[in-house]
Amino acid sequence: MKVPFLDLKIQYESIKEEIAQALQEVLDKTAFAGGPFVAQFEKEFAAFCQCEYAVGVSSGTAALWLALLGLEIDPGDEVITAANTFIATAEAISYCGARPVFVDVDDQTFNMDPALLEAAITKKTKAIIPVHLYGQAADMDPIMEIARAHKLLVIEDASQAHGAEYKGQIVGSIGDAGCYSFYPGKNLGAYGEAGAIVTNNGELAEKIRSLRDHGQLKKYYHSRIGWNSRMDGFQGAILSVKLKYLPKWNEGRRKNAQIYNMVLADIDRLVLPLEAEYAKHVYHIYAVRTNNRDQIIKSLAQKDIYCGIHYPVPLHLQEAYSFMGLGKGSFPVTEKCADEIISLPMFAELSREQIEYVGEELGNLIAEK
Ligand SMILES: *Cc1c(COP(=O)(O)O)cnc(C)c1O
């Protein structure tokens, strides 16, 4: 039995006609760059995120960068984030000329450990970017409390957590701004590149709207130096179609996670993901931990089961950030996770049989050791 890591085709097949119709409407209106389909999606996505405003942009990376620019993160500032995120979180900080400051994570949730925040704050700290990794919210109450006490901004990187909740509140709506990626493999994925910023701050939304479009709100009248980070019209139309199904697809992922939890429960030396008591996890990634990880991934591939690693090298050990001089041992939990994590196949349409097959083969492999 083949178990791919992710299958975008099954989901596409289930909404094929609606997508074709949505694309045709964009063609008929020739609304290709920004425009009414993006505006419509922004309205729907803001409502979904329980926020007043959403601004559609060209990628999740652009969302993070523009949110930071909009909040006036300047050269010389420091922005605290988790060491175990996708590099885009740190790149956005670096692209503002600011300095990323990493903190280690909690070994149960893989998210920023709020207990380590105070020690990372300096006079130069301007903001914190908690990342809701794998589809689970970071522990936002203590993060917000520390941020407010030190007058720091909070930008949530919700790129892996569309529809995830923290104490009943949709992620991205808790801090000063929330950033989303609609990269095709995300829980809400475009059919190309796209992203969005959500916020309740109207002034910030207007500023980001202008920044994404060459600093203009009126054509050819540029009030500031911006960039071209507009969302493409096709992506807006596709995302509007797909957003309606997101709750159902997230439920599918949650159900699959429960089946995994059951079939994997009795395997020794395998650590399963924990759904924190404050969280509604949407399982963008179902990550388990075990030693001998690389061999297990290879052996599973021989059984036609395909896994991923998110992420094999923490940011402070990446060549790109070697100038920071943070060697091995700087963030022990992050480093241990990077050595032990396996992302098992996870998507809404995965069948019970496929999950049971993964459980059986994984159990055999670990028992052999
Ligand atoms: C995917 C992702 C991004 C970047 O999004 P793109 O749309 O690929 O630019 C940023 N942060 C995290 C945590 C992500 O998973």
Supply the residue whose CA is at minimum distance from atom 10 of ligand 1.
Answer: 88
Distance 172 CA to ligand 1 centre (A): 14
Architecture of domain 246-368: Alpha-Beta Complex (3.90)
- Closest atom of ligand 1 to 61 CA is 9
For ligand 1, residues with CB inside 6 Å are 59-61, 85-86, 88-89, 131, 157, 159-160, 181, 183, 195
Q: Which of 183, 186, 343 best tests ligand 1's pocket when mutated (most atoms within 8 Å of CB)?
A: 183
Distance 160 CA to ligand 1 centre (A): 7
Supply the residue whose CA is at minimum distance from atom 7 of ligand 1.
Answer: 60
* Backbone torsions φ then ψ of 197, nearest 5 degrees: -115, 135
121/77 Cα distance (integer angstroms): 11
Assigned CATH class of 8-102+110-243: alpha beta
Residue 185: predicted pLDDT = 98
Q: Determine whether 147 is exposed, middle or buried from the number of CB atoms within 10 Å of its CB (0-12, 13-18, 19+).
A: buried
DSSP-derived 3-state class of residue 31: coil
- Please give the single-letter amino acid code of residue 277: E
- Closest atom of ligand 1 to 131 CA is 13
- Residue 367 vs residues 138, 170, 339, 362: alpha-carbon distances, Å: 33, 40, 20, 9
The count of residues in the chain is: 369
Distance 86 CA to ligand 1 centre (A): 7
Strands 153-157 and 125-129: parallel
50/330 Cα distance (integer angstroms): 37
- Global pTM reads 0.98
DSSP secondary structure, 209-265, as one string: HHHTBTTEEETTEESS---B-BPBHHHHHHHHHHHTTHHHHHHHHHHHHHHHHHHHT
Among the residues of the chain, which ranges form H helices?
8-14, 16-29, 36-48, 60-70, 87-95, 117-120, 140-149, 202-211, 233-243, 246-264, 293-302, 332-340, 352-368
> What stretch(es) of the chain map to CATH 3.40.640.10?
8-102+110-243
Q: Residue 94 corresponds to which tokens in the numbers above?
A: 């670096």
- Closest atom of ligand 1 to 284 CA is 15
Residue 368: predicted pLDDT = 82
> What stretch(es) of the chain map to CATH 3.90.1150.10?
246-368
Per-residue pLDDT of the chain (369 residues; tens, 9 = 90+): 999 999 999 999 999 999 999 999 999 999 999 999 999 999 999 999 999 999 999 999 999 999 999 999 999 999 999 999 999 999 999 999 999 999 999 999 999 999 999 999 999 999 999 999 999 999 999 999 999 999 999 999 999 999 999 999 999 999 999 999 999 999 999 999 999 999 999 999 999 999 999 999 899 999 999 999 999 999 999 999 999 999 999 999 999 999 999 999 999 999 999 999 999 999 999 999 999 999 999 999 999 999 999 999 999 999 999 999 999 999 999 999 999 999 999 999 999 999 999 999 999 999 886
Contact 116, 139 (CB under 8 A): no
- 287 bridge partner residues: 343
Q: Give per-residue burial for 34-43: e unless 16+ CB within 10 Å, then b.
A: bbebbeebbe
